[in-house]
Amino acid sequence: MNIDHVNFTRAASLPVIEQLNDVAPDAFIGYYKENEGEIEKKLLEAGVIKFKGVRIGSVEDFQKIVDSISSEFLQYIDGNSPRKKLSGNVYTSTEYNQALRITMHNELSYSAKWPNKLFFSCIQPATTGGETLIADSRDILEKMNRDIVSEIAERGITYIRNLHAGRGIGPSWQDTFETADKDQLEEYCNSYAIDFEWGRKDSLRLKHSTKGIIQHRVTKEMVWFNQIDQFHPCHLGEEMFEVVQLLYDTPEEFPMYVRFGDGKEISESIVREILRTIEEVTIAPVWQTNELLILDNELVSHGRNSYTGNRKVLVSMSA
């Protein structure tokens, strides 16, 4: 199938569900490869597909499936979310306080290199909550305040991160880049036009400028593609925002911060309006076991609901 000549029609609801009949990993791999053209077309239309009835009971099952249906996997280099690498190309989903909600984002949209596809599977659903939230990035852009859209399009966005060398708030630069070699880190930053500055006690400040609104690599649709709200500390809530402000002299020193690309501050009111708008189009499909969720990272953003009990969701990322 020549993707360039496919007419893309938006799905009426998300995610698109493909119901299978309790198939083992090998059988699913065969099914996927046999129908790959149609599946890819649906993914580019809807942005997210959930396969139900796929026997995924372990990391090994998940690893086998994603390794067989995709290639050119991305490691979580330059990532700012706490997660563990379980094997090969498989990570835990973000390990963040289960009482808090993870706001919507396109994976690594603050970085110079991001995955095209995300694969998720839930090995252990939470007692309550814990849904992997999804929102169509085209809908977000369409519903967003036109003044905000225009300002992002005109000014761009600059993300600021302050990474410690082993002791401090947030991730270390060693964990973030999976290396303790400064030369290797600098080479990576230089290759992707990420500004870096070494500070006291081997701390590292990174600044990276992006567009914030991009054209999808295949469909050529314009999509909302940024993490403004996650990088601005006001999304943490009034109490935590005040704590962060007390800990640091200037926003430039916060563990994470964001400005417009020309240096102009992004107001709290803009961030709160972004959060409200995204919330309007966010949905929360309930997790069950034996499901595989495939998400186009440019077309659909994702997050996580707060939850109770134990929860284990696996994720893998590919180009």
Same domain, 291 and 265: no
Same domain, 150 and 274: yes
Tell which residue, 208, 204, 166, 158, has the closest CA to residue 185: 204
Asked if residue 81 has pLDDT above 60, the reply is no
Q: Is residue 175 part of a domain?
A: yes
Q: What is the pLDDT of residue 3?
A: 31
pLDDT averaged over the chain? 89
Q: What is the pLDDT of residue 255?
A: 87
Q: What is the pLDDT of residue 6?
A: 35
Q: Domain of 224: which CATH number?
A: 3.60.130.10
Same domain, 248 and 268: yes
Q: What is the pLDDT of residue 5?
A: 32
Overall number of domains in the chain:
2
Q: Residues of the chain with pLDDT > 90: what percent? A: 70
d(CA 141, CA 300): 11
**Least confident interval from 75-89, 119-133, 260-274, 294-308:** 75-89
Question: C-alpha distances in angstroms, 75 versus 196, 225, 302?
Answer: 21, 20, 18
Given a contact cutoff of 8 angstroms between Cβ atoms, the answer to whether 214 and 222 are in contact is yes
Q: pLDDT, tens digit, for every residue of 215-251?
A: 999 999 999 999 999 999 887 777 777 777 777 888 8
**Least confident interval from 10-19, 136-145, 187-196:** 10-19
Q: What is the pLDDT of residue 34?
A: 96
Q: Using only the alpha carbons of the chain, give its radius of gyration.
A: 20
Q: What is the pLDDT of residue 126?
A: 96
Same domain, 122 and 175: no
Same domain, 22 and 116: yes
99-127: average pLDDT:
92
Q: Which residue has the higher pLDDT, 19 or 86?
A: 19
Same domain, 152 and 98: no
Same domain, 198 and 253: yes
Q: Indicate the pLDDT class of residue 1, thresholds 50, 70 and 90.
A: very low
Q: Is residue 22 part of a domain?
A: yes
Q: What is the pLDDT of residue 224?
A: 98
Asked if residue 262 has pLDDT above 60, the reply is yes
Give the sign of the dihedral formed by CA 248, CA 192, CA 90, CA 184. negative
Give the sign of the dihedral formed by CA 41, CA 113, CA 74, CA 109. negative
Same domain, 116 and 227: no
Q: Indicate the pLDDT class of residue 80, thresholds 50, 70 and 90.
A: low
Q: Is residue 4 part of a domain?
A: no
Q: Is residue 11 part of a domain?
A: no
Same domain, 131 and 190: no
Asked if residue 2 has pLDDT above 90, the reply is no
Q: Is residue 9 part of a domain?
A: no
Asked if residue 9 has pLDDT above 80, the reply is no
The boundaries of the domain holding residue 184 are 139-278
Same domain, 191 and 143: yes
Given a contact cutoff of 8 angstroms between Cβ atoms, the answer to whether 163 and 170 are in contact is yes
Q: What is the pLDDT of residue 36?
A: 96
Asked if residue 8 has pLDDT above 70, the reply is no
Same domain, 165 and 258: yes
Q: What is the pLDDT of residue 170?
A: 80
Q: What is the pLDDT of residue 94?
A: 66
Same domain, 185 and 108: no
Q: Is residue 271 part of a domain?
A: yes
Q: Is residue 10 part of a domain?
A: no
Q: Is residue 2 part of a domain?
A: no
Q: What is the pLDDT of residue 171?
A: 84
d(CA 72, CA 112): 17
What DSSP letter does each residue of 202-220 carry, written as one string?
G-EEEEEEE-SEEE-TTT-
Q: pLDDT, tens digit, for every residue of 20-71?
A: 999 999 999 999 999 999 999 999 999 999 999 999 999 999 999 999 999 8
Q: Which residue has the tokens 């290639």?
A: 71
Q: pLDDT, tens digit, for every residue of 153-197?
A: 999 999 999 999 988 878 899 988 889 999 999 999 999 999 999
